[in-house]
């Protein structure tokens, strides 16, 4: 799937409009489906930042809905329902920067030892699961956690398991790529 610059601009505007609609209690945007690409189903994450600091990030891993519907849903949830943050205020709306990440289909990463796992990591997004615990880091997180050991330890903590679980337990690991774009 290849999004054009105009597709990306439309989706960023759609995300912002969805958040604005929620703040002003007006009706949510209706997907247009003018282009076939908007009907495509994919995992989608919407990330909000203020001055480079995370302000909300919510997404769907599996391709459950169309890209348009997922952008609307996840933009609103990132702004108002990320449990790590208070609901976005009207004043913050002017300051947020929106980033959208369209996920590829995740693929299993098969590894034997912790060392083998480290060798096979290549900067892609990672989904880590152990029993019912699960967490995801988008590929962009590598910018903040470039050491593979730190990346895995933080991801384990996010999943609610010990930070060394990647060394001591057999985890299910999936990798994915993203088409990521953000507001100027």
Confidence at residue 115, expressed as pLDDT on a 0 to 100 scale = 97
Query: What is the spatial distance between Cα 73 and Cα 56, in angstroms, rounded to a whole number?
Result: 13
Confidence at residue 37, expressed as pLDDT on a 0 to 100 scale = 82
Complete domains list, the chain, with CATH: 5-103 (3.30.700.20), 107-177 (3.30.1490.150)
Confidence at residue 26, expressed as pLDDT on a 0 to 100 scale = 76
Could you tell me if residue 93 is left (phi over 0), alpha (psi between -120 and 50 degrees) or otherwise beta? alpha
Confidence at residue 25, expressed as pLDDT on a 0 to 100 scale = 80
Tell me phi and psi for residue 173, to 5 degrees. Answer: -120, 130
Confidence at residue 31, expressed as pLDDT on a 0 to 100 scale = 65
Contact predicate 19/93, CB 8 Å: yes
Q: What pTM, to 2 d.p., does this model score? A: 0.87
Dmax over CA atoms of the chain, in Å, equals 53
* Environment class of 120 (CB within 10 Å of its CB; exposed 0-12, middle 13-18, buried 19+): middle
DSSP-based three-state secondary structure for 121: coil
Confidence at residue 143, expressed as pLDDT on a 0 to 100 scale = 94
The number of beta carbons lying within 10 Å of the beta carbon of residue 87 is 12
**pLDDT per position in the chain (184 positions), as tens?**
789 999 999 999 999 999 999 998 877 666 666 677 888 899 999 999 999 999 999 999 888 899 999 999 999 999 999 999 999 999 999 999 999 999 999 999 999 999 999 999 999 999 999 999 999 999 999 999 999 999 999 999 999 999 999 999 999 999 999 999 999 8
Confidence at residue 184, expressed as pLDDT on a 0 to 100 scale = 86
Q: For the chain, how far is it from start to end, CA to CA, in angstroms? A: 23
Could you tell me if residue 13 is left (phi over 0), alpha (psi between -120 and 50 degrees) or otherwise beta? alpha
Stated as kind and residue range, the H or E segment containing 70 is helix 67-80
The number of beta carbons lying within 10 Å of the beta carbon of residue 103 is 25
Stated as kind and residue range, the H or E segment containing 8 is helix 5-24
The number of beta carbons lying within 10 Å of the beta carbon of residue 114 is 16
DSSP-based three-state secondary structure for 160: coil
Q: Which two tokens stand for residue 32?
A: 């247009």
Contact predicate 63/83, CB 8 Å: no
């Amino acid at each position: 799937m290849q999004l054009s610059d105009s597709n990306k601009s439309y989706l960023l505007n759609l995300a912002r409009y969805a958040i604005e609609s929620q703040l002003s209690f007006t009706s949510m945007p209706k997907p247009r489906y003018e282009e076939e690409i908007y009907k495509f189903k994919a995992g989608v994450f919407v990330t909000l930042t203020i001055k480079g600091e995370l302000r909300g990030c919510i997404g769907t891993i599996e391709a459950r809905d169309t890209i348009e519907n997922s952008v609307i849903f996840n933009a609103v949830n990132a702004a108002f329902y990320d449990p790590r943050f208070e609901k976005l205020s009207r004043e913050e709306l002017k300051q947020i920067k929106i980033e959208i990440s369209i996920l590829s289909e995740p693929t299993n990463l098969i590894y034997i030892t912790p060392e083998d796992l480290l060798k096979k990591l290549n900067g892609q997004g990672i989904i880590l699961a152990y029993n019912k615990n699960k967490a995801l880091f988008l590929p962009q997180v590598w910018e903040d956690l470039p050491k593979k050991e730190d990346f895995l330890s933080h991801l384990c903590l996010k999943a609610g398991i010990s930070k060394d679980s990647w060394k001591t337990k057999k985890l299910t690991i999936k990798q994915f790529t993203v088409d990521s774009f953000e507001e100027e």
